[in-house]
Every structure is written in structure tokens, then in C-alpha cells.
Structure 1
Amino acid sequence: MLVKNIEKRIKVNKIVSIAAILFAVVIVIAGFVFSYKMIQDSRKSIYVLDNGIPVLVKQTDVMLNRPVEYKAQIELFHRLFFTIAPDDKYIKENIQKCLYLIDDSGKKEYANLREKGFYNQIIASNAIVTVQTDSIKLDSGKNRFMFYGKQFINRKSSIITRNLVTEGFYEDIIRSPNNPHGVLLKDWRIINNDQTDEKIKSVY
């Protein structure tokens, strides 16, 4: 009888000991998880000075903002590429900036327009070319984009309006001063650049 009681007590002690150890392990793991989460949350917290007063703000999830950055990069590229003044130096500076945002397809399109004499015509006619973005559609599954906009060629005698539809792909790259969004446009091409309207300016 005494032996059985001792055996039961040993079993109970063993069960209690194992349970205590498991409980301690769970507490330690939970502590590590909680600490890691606290560290991650603290890294998302930054202080911004507002009139000399530090204000705590939270950084948003990068992936939530990414589609906005993709569209901003696409719009920036088109604005740089298609905003043209009758100044060869200005054109080259804009093209140089936008070539940091795109692969060789941008350089090929620039060379193609230059060979056709497009830039010389703009300079000779003292025209100003601007672009207006209508919409940008993203296909996140294929990393593909479609740009819809209008191109305005403002000459002394008239204002020509052209449709501007382009397509291409995009991929994430390392951010840099020349590419702050960290997005590279690829295999870009112009689908439609047809003239839709021409308004003659009054000479009076």
C-alpha cells in the first residue's frame, strides 16, 4: 500500500513538473513573440518635428503604398519623356532623367523619335509639348501597366491634341536618388498617338 502511494506521488510530481516546464516554455516563447512584435512596431514609429515639437507617427505598410508608387513612377516617366520645350538642352536633360526609370525600350523610342525628326520639328516650330494623364491601369498579376492620356502640342498658330496610350511592365529594384520609387519600367511601347483635334489660334 505504501509503495503504491509513493508511486502515485512520483507520477503526480512528474506530471506537475512536466506541466510546469511546458508552461514555462510557453511563457518564454510568448515573451519572445511579444518582444519581437513590440520591436517591429517600434521600428514603424517615427517622430516628425512640427514647429519644433516631436510628434509620433506610424509608418504605413510598404506593400499597401506600392501600387501608388507604381502609378507615380509611370506618370513621372511619361511627364519627363513627353514634356518638350523648343530647347535641345532641356530635351536631353529630361530624357536623361527619365532613362533612369526605364530599361532600353525608353532609349530605343527616344532614338526612333529623333531619327524621324520629331524633336527638330518641335524646336523649329517653337512649340511646347505637354502631356495629361487620364488614367493608369495596373495588372498586378503580370506586373503590367496601361497608360491613358493626352498629348498637347502648342504651336504659334494652333494647339494639336493627340491620344496617348502606352503599355509596358514594371519591376521592383533598389531605390536610389535617380529612382526614388525603386521601380523600373520595362518593354515599354506606344500603342496609340493619333491626332484627335486641332484648334486654330486667333491672330487678333
Structure 2
Amino acid sequence: MLVKNIEQKIKVNKAISIASILFAIFIVIVGFYFAYKLVQDSRKSLYIIDNGVPVLVKQTDELLNRPVEYKSQVELYHRLFFTLAPDDKYIKENVEKSLYLIDDSGKKEYANLREKGFYNQLISSNSMVTTQSDSIKIDLERKKFVYFGKEIINRKSSVLIRKLITEGYFEDIIRSPHNPHGVLLKNWRIIDNSEISSESKYSSF
């Protein structure tokens, strides 16, 4: 009887020891899992400086956000390239910012407009140019975009509205301060820039 009791106690102790070891391993695995998850979540947290104030933002899945960033890049490029004031320095600064977002096709169009005297006409006529984006179509398979909008030329005596339809392609690149979306527009061209309307600012009597 004594021997059987000792054997039974040994078995019980052995079972408790094994259970304790398994439980300890389980705790370690759970600890590692939560630590890994915490590190992953912390990597998704970013601080953006907004007027000198750090603001906490969360990164979302890049694949889900990418189509939105493509559209945003296309809209940003057109806004910079076509928002013009009757000031040569302002024009150069805006165009320079836009050229970080596009390949040589943007520089070629800028040179083309300069040669035609477009910017000089704006300055001499004291005109303002702005754009209005209507829609942007993105073809993810072909990595192609089509931009639909309007170009509004505000002159002293009239407001001229032109259709603005362009197309091009896009490529993923490394993000940088000059190109925060990490998207490079390529082979861009203007398809339609025809006049829609011209309205005089002064009523005729």
C-alpha cells in the first residue's frame, strides 16, 4: 500500500509539473503574441506636425488606401500646375512643386506653354487661373488615369471657362517630402482644353 501511494503521488506530481510547464509555455506564447501586436500597432501610429502641434494619426492598409492616393496625386498635380497668378515667381514656384510629381512630360508641357507666351499673357493681362476637378478615373490594371475638370481664367473684364481633360499613367515610387504619396505621373498629355464659355463681368446697358 505504501509503495502504491508513493507511486500515485509521483504520478500526481509529474502531472502537475507537466501542466505547470505547459501553462508557463502558453503564458510566454500569449505574451509574445500581444507584444508583437503592440509593436505592429505602434508602427501604424504616426505623429504629424500641424502648425507646430503634433497630431496622432493611424496608418491604414496601404492596398486599401492606394487608389485614393492615386486620385489625390492626380488632383494635386493639376491644382499646382494650373493654379496661376499674374506673378512670374508664383508661377515658377507652383510649377516647380508640380514637377516633383510627374516625369518629363510635365516639364515639356510647361516649356510648350512658355514658348506660346501663355504665362506672359497671364501676367500682362493680370489674370488668375484656377482649376475645378469634376472626376478622376483610375484604371488600376493598366495604371492609367483620366482627369476631367475645368480651367477657370479670371480676367479683368471677363471670366473664361475651358474644358480640361488630360490622361496619363502612374507608377509607385519611394515617398519623399516632395512626393508624399509616393506616386509618379507619367506620359501625361492634355486631350481637350477647348473653351466652354466666356462671360463678361460688366453688364451692357
Spell out, residue by residue over 1:118-142, the C-alpha distance to the aligned partner (whole angstroms, 9 max, x if none). 1111111111111000001100001
Secondary structure in 2 matching 1:114 = helix
- Give aligned pairs, total: 177
1:101 match: secondary structure: coil
CA offsets per residue over residues 61-115 of structure 1, 9 Å max, x none?
1111111111111111101100111111110111111110000000000000111
Residue in 1 that maps onto 2:113 = 113
Amino acid in the other structure paired with 1:91: I
Structure 1 counterpart of 2:151? 151
Q: Taking every aligned residue pair, what percent have the same amino acid on both sides? A: 67
How far residue 43 of structure 1 moved from its aligned partner, in angstroms, is: 3.4
Task: Letter of the 1:170 partner, please give it.
Answer: F
TM-score, normalised to structure 2's length? 0.75
List alignment gaps of at least 5 residues for structure 2.
1-25, 49-54
Indicate whether 1:95 and 2:95 are aligned.
yes
* TM-score of the superposed pair, with normalisation by structure 1: 0.75
* Distance in structure 2 (CA, Å) of the matches to 1:87 and 1:146: 29
Structure 2: distance between partners of 1:200 and 1:56: 48
Shift of 1:39: 4.7
Q: Which runs of 5+ in 1 are unaligned?
A: 1-26, 49-54
Cα shift at 1:40:
3.5
* Alpha-carbon spacing, 1:193–1:36, altered in 2? closer, same or farther (3 Å): same
Where do 4+ consecutive residues of structure 1 move more than 6 Å? Answer: none
